[in-house]
Amino acid sequence: MASLQQSPAIKGAKVLMVGAGGIGCELLKTLALSGFEDIHIIDMDTIEVSNLNRQFLFRQKHVGQSKAKVARDAVLRFRPHISISSYHANVKDSNFNVDFFKQFNVVLNGLDNLDARRHVNRLCLAAEVPLVESGTTGFLGQVSVHVKGRTDCYECNPKPSPKTYPVCTITSTPSKFVHCIVWAKELLFAKLFGDKNQDNDLNVRSSDSTGSSEQAEDVFERKANESIEQYGRRIYDHVFGYNIEQALSNEETWKSRNKPRPIYSRDVICAELMQQNGNSDKAGSAGDPLSVSAMASLGLKNPQDLWSLKDNSRVFFEALKLFFGKREKEIGSLCFDKDDPLAVEFVTAAANIRAASFGIPLHSLFEAKGIAGNIVHAVATTNAIVAGLIVIEAIKVLQKDFDSYRMSYCLEHVTQKMLIMPVQPFEPNKSCCVCSETPLTLEIDTNHSKLRDFVEKIVKAKLSMTSPLIMHGSSLLYEVGDDLDDAMIANYSANLEKVLSSLPSPVTSGTMLTVEDLQQEFTCNINIKHREEFDEENEPDGMVLHGWTQVPTKPKDDDDKPPTGNGDSSKTSQTETVEAEAEVVVKINIEEIGASGNKRKAPDSRDISTDPPSNDVNEATAANHKKVHKIDDGDDDEELVMLDHWDIDTNKKQKLR
């Protein structure tokens, strides 16, 4: 270590770290102790209580402060002679552009979402700066090196994305507990406690409403002089009783499905018990919102207990009462947060009551929180191991030791007497739309889809562009930027509301659109193919993008299990589930990799299987199969490619050059 610390390549290196969370804390410490003297950190997050069990640079007194700044200050206390610059900011901010990235010798990622990872990947490609990626989830971890022209880029190979469901499934025909969680979190919680002006697919009209829907009373509006108990019963009866009866009135829907049963408060909890429900004195202090708990008020102690329908109803009413009694000032601006006990309790209770109505098995609060918050409990040791592997690869990059680059995998079970498995990196994928500029194909109904749909669902959601510019030939259809005048802004806003075929330069089948992100210096060509019919269940966006490296998804039966990744995000779209899929399996031959000095070729569609991996993985089966699992993680470290099965038929081996 002493000789490494004196290495000019290390002492003179200027390093950018993106992310100061689970991996980031370990990485900053390891960089400082390894002799790096010029480190820059970007992180937009603040410290939360749930971070303290593994992000060891932080303490209770730091809660609410900038992760980047606190991490910097902590490391400087034991390495005061080095330079550490912290930025409490979003890496996607315009000041972190290509010129900013060009000043660094290497970029080290410890991010928590796919969108930001793609953004950094593109900036590194444009700046021609090597990128070292990383990820952990539980006992599993991964580190990979991405150097322009020598290895694959981060987007060369498929990445899993959250599974989506049509809104109609969530609102009308749930069949899995995760559907109930999404309904309770994104519809009911948002309607009761969030922005009242936001669009919401929840039925807000009661059986008492008369006249047009515009004049009908919103059942979620609390009436003057209405007690919280009366309001709670009215909401309960509406969403779990009246709305279910309305759904049952459409007999065609239930011909091939089990009918739900309406649940009314009077059938579950009597008026007398309602008055005695909970002890607010035990619920926590109004001055500390995160201490308020319906479980504490009701004397429920074990979050792993399975509550009855009656218990769930009591928690529902008590949580509603506590929100209006102790946190009324927050109502109207609340978003679901997995670190907010009262929010989790309310969502769990509401999801379980809805599940009971539709004959879906109930779940404990512990299980429901895992699904709603996309949680897998992090292992600090895995973060430490991965941080060490990142620094090893960074040193190889700085010493230009190209032949020694490795993708390294931390395994849960010993495989071939190893818990850390190094393999050769992939070659650049010639069909990658990012580093190889291969055109994409978009199937879309050009007569009904608006430019706004294309921008939101494709350009931003799938291609992760932040400052897009869209051109058809020499005609500019859409642009964003601070230098636009009012007339240009009005023109582009008007274009957003037009269907593609009615734009000033019509977009029809065969049209080639050029989409560019000036900040990322990334350009992509998209060939438009007109298509009129889409499968609502499997193609909920009403458009399909081909050639974009994302894992194909297919329905699974384990949607109600806590997800594979540890997501810290508290916001999800209405149709998104909050779990990750581990579905892509890339076949490789570990023996050939070990013997070969050449990089592996990136897999094409023939090398990718969408068969989900077995849930019964153990040391015996790990010796009989060879699979690479794509795992979406969302805690501090996102995408994983885990190798846990090593043997494979020769006719399915990944060919090496």
54 has binding-site annotation: yes
- Catalytic option among 25, 124, 168, 433: 168
Q: What CA–CA distance (Å, rounded) separates 638 from 142?
A: 10
Is 257 annotated as ligand-binding?
no
Handedness of CA 564, 565, 570, 572 (dihedral sign): negative
Are 101 and 130 contacting, i.e. CB atoms less than 8 angstroms apart?
Answer: no
Reply yes or no on whether 168 is catalytic: yes
607 is in an annotated binding site: no
435 is in an annotated binding site: yes
Sequence-ordered list of residues with C-beta below 8 angstroms from that of 209, at least 6 positions apart, any chain: 216, 217
Task: Calculate the alpha carbon distances from 514 to 153, 440, 504, 511, 522 in Å.
Answer: 21, 10, 16, 10, 11
22 marked ligand binding residue = yes
Say what the alpha-carbon torsion angle 283, 286, 287, 290 is, to the nearest 10 degrees.
60
- Flag whether 595 is marked binding: no
Q: Please tell me the distance from the alpha carbon of residue 44 to that of residue 112, in angstroms, as a whole number.
A: 11
Question: What's the maximum distance between 2 C-alpha atoms anywhere in the chain?
Answer: 82
Q: Does residue 503 have a known ligand-binding role?
A: no
Provide the phi-psi class of 79: left if phi over 0, else alpha when psi is between -120 and 50, else beta: beta
The verdict on whether residue 180 carries a ligand-binding annotation is: no
Q: Is 401 annotated as a binding residue?
A: no
Instruction: Give the span between the Cα atoms of 363 and 620, in whole angstroms.
Output: 32
Q: Is 544:536 a contact under the CB 8 Å cutoff? A: no
Residue 485 in marked binding region: no
CB 542 within 8 A of CB 534: yes
SS3 content of the chain, % helix, strand, coil (to 5): 35, 15, 50
Pick from 352, 361, 355, 348: which is nearest to 293 by CA?
A: 348
Both tokens assigned to 65: 């402060």
CA atoms within 13 A on the CB side of 106: 25
Cα end-to-end span (Å), the chain: 35
52 annotated as belonging to a binding site for a ligand: yes
User: In terms of Cα–Cα distance, which of 90, 124, 149 is closest to 15?
Assistant: 124
Nearest in space to 111 (alpha carbons), one of 65, 48, 154 = 154
Q: Is 24 annotated as a binding residue?
A: yes
> Rounded to whole angstroms, how far apart are CA atoms 118 and 584?
19
Its sign, for the CA torsion 636, 640, 645, 646, is negative
Distance CA 18, CA 40 (A): 8
* 67 annotated as ligand-binding: yes
Would the annotation count 113 as a binding residue?
yes
64 annotated as a binding-site residue: no
Q: Determine whether the annotation assigns residue 21 to a binding site.
A: yes
Judge whether 225 is annotated as a binding position.
no
What does the block give as tokens for 575?
Answer: 């149709």
Q: Which residues are part of a known binding site for ATP?
A: 19-24, 43, 51-54, 67, 112-117
| Binding site listing for Zn(2+) | 153, 156, 432, 435
Which residue ranges make up the annotated binding site? 19-24, 43, 51-54, 67, 112-117, 153, 156, 432, 435
**Catalytic (active-site) positions:** 168
